[in-house]
Amino acid sequence: MFRVIIPARYAATRLPGKLLLPLAGKPIMQWVYERASAAGALEVLIATDDDLIVSAAHAFGAEVVMTAATHASGTDRIAEVARARGWPPESVVVNVQGDEPLMPTALIRQVAAMLATHADADIATLASPITVLGEFLDPNTVKVVADRAGRALYFSRAPIPWNRDGAPTGLASQRDLTGARRHIGIYAYRVAALLRLAALPVSALENSEKLEQLRALEAGFDIRVGEAVERPGPDVNTLADLARVRAQIAPKQG
């Protein structure tokens, strides 16, 4: 069994208050909570430091945990909750981002199950194939490369793996996307690994790429990467993203 924590920050850099923006009559955060609640978790908690988030979450019946306002990442925030609740070291916590209203419930179950399958793994996450050059070159699309056993080797905003012979005239000429995978930002942690990770300082690679999972890799954590059984919809970082999500939901609401 597993638990889900949704770290929820009001003051997002690009779109402040985005978790409370309306989406087909419900705040974005409620969509995420309802999908997480359908995954079969022992409990689903929203972790925040903002009273507006608390009020909105209580309005749709969610349990909320207030956390410190000083956390630099969602990982740090969920670690505070796990520590305060005294969850067993071997128990599993899934971090579902609060701006992923179209995150499939199947992926929440899948990433949690991966830690049961891989007894030596500290963290599990997911990826899906990249088939479009624009996505491969986009620094906002995080790429991941893993070994044959599915252990993560590296995460990057750069286009990896890069086929040297597939791009004879520069980046835009790349025609071979073999092995290219988009990292899906959902994580399952063993509580012991989560607490150990949160206690580490920001690493050099993490600081350079602005990807906190690199802190875990630099520290030697075993991160398993699974092939997502479904491709999630877009997350919401901008108003354009929100428009795309609304367009996907509208036909289903009709």
Residuewise pLDDT in 10s, the chain (254 residues): 999 999 998 877 778 899 999 999 999 999 999 999 999 999 999 999 999 999 999 999 999 999 998 888 889 999 999 999 999 999 999 999 999 999 999 999 999 999 999 999 999 999 999 999 999 999 989 999 999 999 999 999 999 999 999 999 999 999 999 999 999 999 999 999 999 999 999 999 999 999 999 999 999 999 999 999 998 888 888 888 899 999 988 766 65
Q: Beta-carbon neighbour count of residue 238 at 10 Å?
A: 12
Q: For the chain, give every residue range classified as CATH 3.90.550.10.
A: 1-103+233-249, 119-183+201-232
pTM confidence score: 0.93
The pLDDT, as a whole number, for residue 252 is 64
Here the tokens at position 192 are 């012991």
Here the tokens at position 144 are 């991941």
Here the tokens at position 157 are 């905003």
The amino acid that residue 117 corresponds to is: T
The amino acid that residue 223 corresponds to is: I
Architecture of domain 119-183+201-232: Alpha-Beta Complex (3.90)
Long-range CB contact pairs, 208-214, < 8 A, 24+: 209/155, 209/156, 209/157, 210/157, 211/142, 211/155, 211/156, 211/157, 212/73, 212/75, 213/123, 213/125, 213/152, 213/155, 213/183, 213/187, 214/154, 214/155
Q: In what helix (H) or strand (E) does residue 214 lie, and over which residues does it extend? A: helix 213-218
Give the CATH H-level superfamily of domain 1-103+233-249: Spore Coat Polysaccharide Biosynthesis Protein SpsA; Chain A (3.90.550.10)
Beta bridge partners, 65, equal 47
The pLDDT, as a whole number, for residue 11 is 78
The pLDDT, as a whole number, for residue 253 is 62
